[in-house]
Amino acid sequence: MLKQLISPAATALADIFAGARRYSLAAMLGWQDVRQRYRRSALGPLWLTISMGVMIGTIGMVFGSIFKTPLFDFLPFLSVGIIFWGFISSVLTESCTGFIAAEGIIKQLPIPLFVHILRMMWRNVLILAHNFIIFPLVLLAVGRPLHLTMLVAIAGFGLQLVNLLWLALLFALVCARYRDLTQIVTSALQVVFYLTPIVWLPKALPSRSALLLLNLNPVYHLLEIVRAPLLGELPSLVNWAYAGGLAAVGWSITIIVYGRYKRRVAYWL
Amino acid sequence: MTYVEFENVCVDFAIYNASGRSLKKRLMQVATGGQIGADNDGRVVVRALENLNFRLNDGDRVGLLGHNGAGKSTLLRLLCGVYEPSSGVARIAGEIGSLIDISLGIDPEASGRENIYIRGALLGISRAEMNRRIDEIIEFSELGDFIDMPVRTYSTGMHLRLAFSVSTVVRPEILLMDEWLSVGDEGFKHRAEERMTELVKATNILVLASHSRELVLHTCNRVIWLEHGKIRMDGDPNIVTDAYFGMGAASNG
């Protein structure tokens, strides 16, 4: 029994570490992906940033007045929420094609498969860096000062990435075999968007049962460990514990499953 | 010590029909007790390679012969480490280099120079090493000022020259090829030939899939003839090519 777990785990970890050692390849390919969006376009991915900024402005006006929350509080909350939700949702959507899109390389060169996940992740981090420009502009617009607590967001973002990496690896693996999972993930993400306090404030929830439901939502915690510090508050212990626990459990499962089925990926494509 | 050792290696491809790839169908099958799925779940398995046993040693120049679909490409992919055997053991000791799809990873929008770095990174060459060799690669490709233009502006020949110049920079211990690489116009062809010969000379084990008798006789000191995923003959090039091509001639005539 134990041996059945150890040998796939060793296979998976070997691939993951080998992939991590080829970080320069992943970085180069991810960077190349972003550069492709800049080619023959003056603003490139910044077009996405602009449309996201316009959306934040519009939603901020409408929902700010519905919730009767001053823009000083609501707009920063909303902008961090939308920026990082955009990151999380595009990582999860693109992870479904993580291996499928790299079919050409996977079938020709023996490159660790984890490289393709890292490439996708790096590409999205670069795009996140574009979109993040909105946040300081919003702070400037509502006249909110910078705060030392904001530095905690770096640790929060690290933990968010650790979680997204296992999710992406697992999705890429399962989607290579079952192609219509991509559709399921896309629609599930839409539901999660409404279930998670991104455009609405958690304190607007009426009852305790709704709060309970909120605390079960993993995306809420993954978002909160980055958003709370950026808004000048410390994330709660529950947020950290949930995100940390999720990383531990998620990685354990992913490593076993990945180790078991990694060798099949080239055949599935 | 470079070697390749195959022990009872089999490769099976499961052919997933549309229903096999759909998670919904899978779940419905479970829900309906497999009644509806019974006829859909006829999973067809194609055995691409069956019970391969051989050992390649240092100095072997192996030609792979066989008709289309005999399993040559699958065998090359196994050697390359892309596929893992469905059953059996494949032991490969030595650094592997593949010249099978030299254009892989070339981004038409990027410049030739950028593509040299991308291709180099895919082949596992460090950036420092690439910086050291880039001038040599550009010079070999004879692309001149075109090297800083997007690859989509290149002609097919220029495109291949670029891919060839980067891809042949590696000096692997085990070299895999699908037919001899021959690119460019007369002048370039000659230098490409020289480089290929030098590359083959430097490698410990060469595996070359080919349909050309002359090429195999000229390059190889051992020939493996694959038929329907099995080894039909393995031995001296003259004997095996005579049998392989002789049979073809006999059936044609």
For residue B23, what pLDDT band results from cuts at 50, 70 and 90? low
Per-residue pLDDT reduced to its tens digit, A23-40? 989 999 999 888 888 877
**pLDDT higher than 70, residue B41:** no
CB proximity B23 to A under 8 Å: yes
Q: What is the mean pLDDT of residues B110-118?
A: 90
Structural domains of chain B, ranges and CATH numbers in brackets:
3-94+209-252 (3.40.50.300), 112-203 (no CATH)
Number of domains in chain A: 1
Per-residue pLDDT reduced to its tens digit, A78-106? 999 999 999 999 999 999 999 999 998 89
For residue B30, what pLDDT band results from cuts at 50, 70 and 90? low
Q: What is the mean pLDDT of residues B204-225?
A: 90
Q: What is the mean pLDDT of residues A124-150?
A: 92
Cα–Cα dist A20/A165, whole Å: 12
Q: What is the mean pLDDT of residues B8-27?
A: 70
For all residues of chain A together, what is the average pLDDT?
90
**pLDDT higher than 50, residue A72:** yes
Per-residue pLDDT at A1: 62
Q: What is the pTM of this model?
A: 0.87
Partner A, chain B 29-48, Cβ-Cβ below 8 Å: none
Provide the token pair at B51.
């019970």
**pLDDT higher than 60, residue A181:** yes
CB contact under 8 A, B122 and A178: no
Per-residue pLDDT reduced to its tens digit, A196-230? 999 888 887 777 777 778 888 999 999 999 999 99
Whole domain around residue A60: which residue ranges?
2-268
**pLDDT higher than 90, residue B38:** no
CB proximity B149 to A under 8 Å: no
Provide the token pair at A126.
């670069």
For residue B105, what pLDDT band results from cuts at 50, 70 and 90? confident
Per-residue pLDDT at A224: 94
**pLDDT higher than 70, residue B142:** yes
SS3 state of residue A194: helix
Provide the token pair at B240.
């095996």
CA distance A207 to chain B (A): 36
CB contact under 8 A, A179 and B21: yes
Cα–Cα dist A81/A223, whole Å: 7
Cα–Cα dist B116/B114, whole Å: 5
Pick from A7-11, B60-64, B99-103, B184-188: least confident: B184-188
